[in-house]
Amino acid sequence: MTKLGTKPGREISYADALYEAVASEMDIDPSVFVFGLGVDDPKGMYGTTKDLHVRFGADRNFDTPLSEDAMTGVAIGAAIAGMRPIHVHQRFDFLLLCMNQLVNLAAKSSYMFAGAVSVPIVVRSIIGRSWGQGAQHSQALHSMFMHVPGLKVVAPTTPHDAKGCLIAAIRDNNPVIFVEHRMLYGNRGVVPEESYAVPFGKARTLKEGDDITIVAVSHMVVEALRAASHLEKVGVHAEVIDPVSLSPLDIDTIIQSSAKTGRLLIVDNAWTACGASAEIVAQVVEHFQQTRAIQVRRMGFAPVPCPTTKPLENLFYPNARTIAAKAYDMVKGADQHWLPEGPEAKEILEFKGPF
Amino acid sequence: MTKGVRGDNAVLLRRLYTSLYRIRRVEEEIVRIYPTDKIKSPSHMSLGQESVSVGVCEALRKTDIVFATYRSHAAYLAKGGDLKRMTAELYGKADGAARGKAGSMHLIDMSTGMMGTSAIVGTSLPLAVGYALAERMRGKDTVVVVFFGDGAQEEGVFHESMNFAALKKLPVLFVLENNTYAIHTPLGARVPAANFRERAATYKMPTQLIEDGDTLALLEATEAAAARMRAGGGPEFFEVMTMRWLEHVGPGDDLHLNYRTKAELDAWKAKDQVKLIGAMLDDAARGQIQREVEEEVQAALAFAEASPYPADHELYEHVYHD
């Protein structure tokens, strides 16, 4: 368990941390290259791939035809040939066009061929609410990929973990689905200048507390930490855990915390049905059955497609206040009808579209 | 009829016949053994289609790369895949090409450039393109061949792959093995016009039609195409007419299903490439090849029989690559 943000050091944004990870790996390993719709355009994927082609050559950071299916296969073929491609998607929703290649080819090749080939690809995919992205530009479908043996799924929240996880993903000899929330891009945090890998399968306890364990995914970690601040003011001490990597999943850290607090609230940045939250609950309940009754609750997207209009979009997502209220009810018992006062998340308020 | 300037080359003819006859005999033996249930793997037989793989692969270097389909036996053997590891794989044994985890539909031999095959139609097409991209990025002059059936050209990924290969002028030889049936569905029920070469031509790639699965014509065409591709000429497209003799999957005849006629099949059997190439050799040469192949095939089957099944712990191995 590592605490972040307690040491002085250089602070950069999540987006800059991603850029640094890719650029540093491209610098030391000629087999690393980047492609995807718009990676070499003037905006450079929110700055995360900006001018990589100028620095490393046009064949190592290139735009592609709108052919997600084939381009995923191209990544797999190049990886089998010994390269380390990074395929970037502006929206996670587009991964549905890549499902066949990811699930039938990438995930299976090592096993099906008894280790004769490896498929070291990174699939960077951007999720997230903001400014009316709606039903087809905001989905977070990481749970679908957690279901499949052979894939790894990571969703780092802090700039530190964004850099370290992306470096680890590039060096990993397996397909890695790398989930990035758009509302995290501007977040700043301490990021070492040197190269480092954050190992997968290690959760982070970002705040300690004895009353309730809150496990949150991606941007919901930010909201959960805000919720924990609300809760502190009313004397409830929440422990906030960021799994960082969803597959492999560090269930031990979650189990230990749940044993301490006796209460587990999981807040996914996704739907709850058959999701990461369902998997975590199942594993925790299986662990404690007949020895300990752990109180469990889940929060996530409303079970509807995401609407664009702001009032409904706000209801669709959990936020710091609703997370705090749910945790408070769990600690106090029945419904307390308590909802803390507080502004909407700064990064959401400040975001301006259209993209 | 077979044609080609190389038809008088005795060494070449012996090599071609060995490759063709070897595939034929291996598959005949699979057909013989299949009812014993020792081969618990859906096997899509190449019988009748051997020449497509042999004609193309004979023109390739060992370092060239082949991607193929779940009808994989011919391509695997033609590219030099290890026969013993293939038979053991079909038997689900630990000495198999993938330790019994792959079966007939997913043969692989990386040491000879035979990439693992896929059971999902069309999915190998973009992998071949990606492999070619990687080789060019590293300055190699490798040629990558991808075999696919006429069903694959109906998949969207066929067009996406052709487009990208042509856009980047990648050295990919697209070889459409046109046996005119997708399982039992004829072309007429699937496309308004079987103008596959026209489709490829819209991506600005040179195309050729090879009739009758002609081994020598394929060899010659592949040699020329490979030379152009090594020189940076970009992808090319072959449409090879051929016919599978047996049912879509399994060892049986399927004329009783009445989706094709005996006359149609007999016409193809009358121009069997294995026999035609064999007839170009004298009896002594042909007989020697047949004896050598027979010995090798029986040894491979004995090897598969003797090989152990994988241990229980192997269930959990290779899910992730270290």
CA count, 13 A, side-chain hemisphere, B254: 15
Complex confidence, ipTM: 0.95
Tokens of A187: 């977040």
Cβ contact (<8 Å) for B123 and A101?
yes
List, by residue number, the catalytic residues of A: 68, 137
Architecture of the CATH domain A204-350: 3-Layer(aba) Sandwich (3.40)
Among candidate residues A8, A42, A41, A30, the one with its CA nearest the CA of residue A82: A30
Interface of A with B in 48-67 (CB under 8 A): 59, 64-65, 67
- Rounded-to-integer distance, Cα A244 and Cα A163, Å: 12
Domain ranges of chain A: 11-190, 204-350
Domain ranges of chain B: 5-307
CA count, 13 A, side-chain hemisphere, B239: 20
pLDDT value, residue B7: 52
Which DSSP symbol is given to A299? E
Rg (CA), chain B: 19
Q: Phi then psi for B154, rounded to 5 degrees?
A: -85, -10
Among B101, B120, B129, whose Cβ lies nearest the Cβ of A77?
B129
Q: How confident is the model at residue A84 (pLDDT cuts 50, 70, 90)?
A: very high
- Cα dihedral sign, A151-A83-B155-B267: negative
* Cβ pair B273, B78 in contact under 8 A: no
Tokens of B179: 């046996």
| 3-state DSSP assignment of residue A156 | coil
Fold of A11-190: Rossmann fold (3.40.50)
Q: Which residues of B16-27 are buried (b: 16+ CB within 10 A; e: fewer)?
A: bbbbbbbbbbbb
- Cα dihedral sign, B36-B109-B223-B296: negative
Listed in sequence order, the residues at least 6 apart from B17 whose beta carbon sits closer than 8 Å to its beta carbon are B274, B277, B278, B280, B281, B286, B289
**Based on the number of CB atoms within 10 Å of its own CB, is A329 exposed (0-12), middle (13-18) or buried (19 or more)?**
middle
Q: Model confidence over B288-322: pLDDT tens digits?
A: 999 999 999 999 999 999 999 999 999 999 999 99
Q: Which residues of A97-113 are buried (b: 16+ CB within 10 A; e: fewer)?
A: bbbbbbbbbbbbbbbbb
Instruction: List the CATH code of the domain at B5-307.
Output: 3.40.50.970
Q: How confident is the model at residue A129 (pLDDT cuts 50, 70, 90)?
A: confident
- Rounded-to-integer distance, Cα A84 and Cα A100, Å: 20
Q: Model confidence over A171-191: pLDDT tens digits?
A: 999 999 999 999 999 999 999
pLDDT value, residue A350: 85
Domains A11-190 and A204-350 share a fold: yes
- Cα dihedral sign, A60-A61-A65-A66: positive
Among A67, A85, A114, whose Cβ lies nearest the Cβ of B318?
A114
Closest residue on chain B to A148 (Cα): B319
Beta strands, E only, chain B? 65-67, 144-149, 172-178, 181-182, 185-186, 207-210, 236-241
Q: How confident is the model at residue A1 (pLDDT cuts 50, 70, 90)?
A: very low
Q: Model confidence over A227-260: pLDDT tens digits?
A: 999 999 999 999 999 999 999 999 999 999 999 9
Cβ contact (<8 Å) for A110 and B129?
no
Interchain CB contacts (distance < 8 Å): A and B: 137
Tokens of A297: 């609750």
Q: For chain B, which residues score pLDDT lower than 70?
A: 1-8
Cβ contact (<8 Å) for B163 and A67?
yes
Interface test with A, best of B112, B120, B125, B319 (most A CBs within 10 A): B319
- Rounded-to-integer distance, Cα A233 and Cα A320, Å: 14
Closest Cα in chain A, distance from residue B223 (Å):
23
- Rounded-to-integer distance, Cα B123 and Cα B68, Å: 10
| 3-state DSSP assignment of residue A266 | strand
